[in-house]
Amino acid sequence: MVERALLLLSSSRVHGYGFLEHAKPEITNFFNKRNVQTILFVPYALKDYDKYTAVVSEALTPMGYKVEGIHTKGDPIKAIDSAQAIFVGGGNTFVLLKTLYEKNLVEVIRNRVLNQGVPYMGSSAGTNVATASINTTNDMPVAYPPSFVALNLVPFNINPHYLETDPNTKHKGETRDQRINEYLEYEQQSRGVLGLREGTALLVEGQKATLLGDRNAKLFRPNQEPVEYKPNADLSFLLQ
């Protein structure tokens, strides 16, 4: 049994940067440490798999990795079984999770990552599906998956693209914090929701979790005030 290795990015795009560019040091550290040369890319969260894979390849090839789209392999289960590393990209979380269930990939990915230590990178929807459930996605529910339970590579939830609502807005829709608190009121057994601002990521190596990036993360837990954590904070307690 090899320890799990996860790099969970809030987003693939950050203002002022190209696709995945803001996270280049974290990405190369993560994969190089594990001698990864080829990354299996899972494009299911967007509609055009070829186009999406081309965008990802354009970003990761200059960093030194070969990118292969899982849809170009005959059998996606075998592709996961032989992958050196997996990257699940963002898009619509509901479409992504539904497709993972339809292709019977949920348990396969979970086993490869948790029991065989295959490095997993996710961004946005790819980060959502790595957590306990997709209950705290920001996406519109355009597809109906057979469950909101996700890969459960970590036992808590993440809210990617986290941001505070402009306090001066005249809009009366719920704020992000209200939405997250709605979840925690409804799911009192939740292990918490980590609000990951754009430009940040969670690195998980075995039983250690570390906040990466240049901004704080905000942790919401049932019946508690939210807590801000600074860059490089040790968040390993969330894994217990």
Instruction: Report how many helices (DSSP H) and strands (DSSP E) the chain contains, helices first.
Output: 7, 11
Cβ at position 158, least distance to a second copy in Å: 13
Q: Is 96 in the site for a second copy (CB under 8 A)?
A: no
Q: Evaluate whether 63 touches 27 at the Cβ level (below 8 Å).
A: yes
Among 136, 153, 209, 213, binds a second copy (CB under 8 A): 136
Q: Evaluate whether 40 touches 80 at the Cβ level (below 8 Å).
A: yes
Task: Fill in the per-residue mask, 153 to 182: x = in contact with a second copy (CB under 8 A), - = not in contact.
Answer: --------x-x------xxxxx----xx-x
Phi and psi torsions of 23, nearest 5°: -105, 15
Q: Quick one: how far is CA 231 from the chain centroid?
A: 18
Cβ at position 52, least distance to a second copy in Å: 13
Residue 109: closest CA among 85, 137, 140 = 85
Residue partners of 196: CB distance under 8 A and separation at least 6: 8, 9, 10, 127, 158, 159, 160, 161, 162, 202, 217
Q: Which is nearer to a second copy, 53 or 157 (CB)?
A: 157
Q: Which two tokens stand for residue 192?
A: 């918490």
Distance CA 23, CA 14 (A): 9
Cβ at position 126, least distance to a second copy in Å: 14
Catalytic positions: 124, 139, 161
Cβ at position 128, least distance to a second copy in Å: 10
Residues 30-59 that bind a second copy (CB under 8 A): 47
Task: Fill in the per-residue mask, 211 to 240: x = in contact with a second copy (CB under 8 A), - = not in contact.
Answer: ------------------------------
Residues 1-30 that bind a second copy (CB under 8 A): 11, 13-16
Q: Which residues bind a second copy (CB under 8 A)?
A: 11, 13-16, 47, 92, 94-95, 134-144, 147-148, 161, 163, 170-174, 179-180, 182-183, 185-187, 198
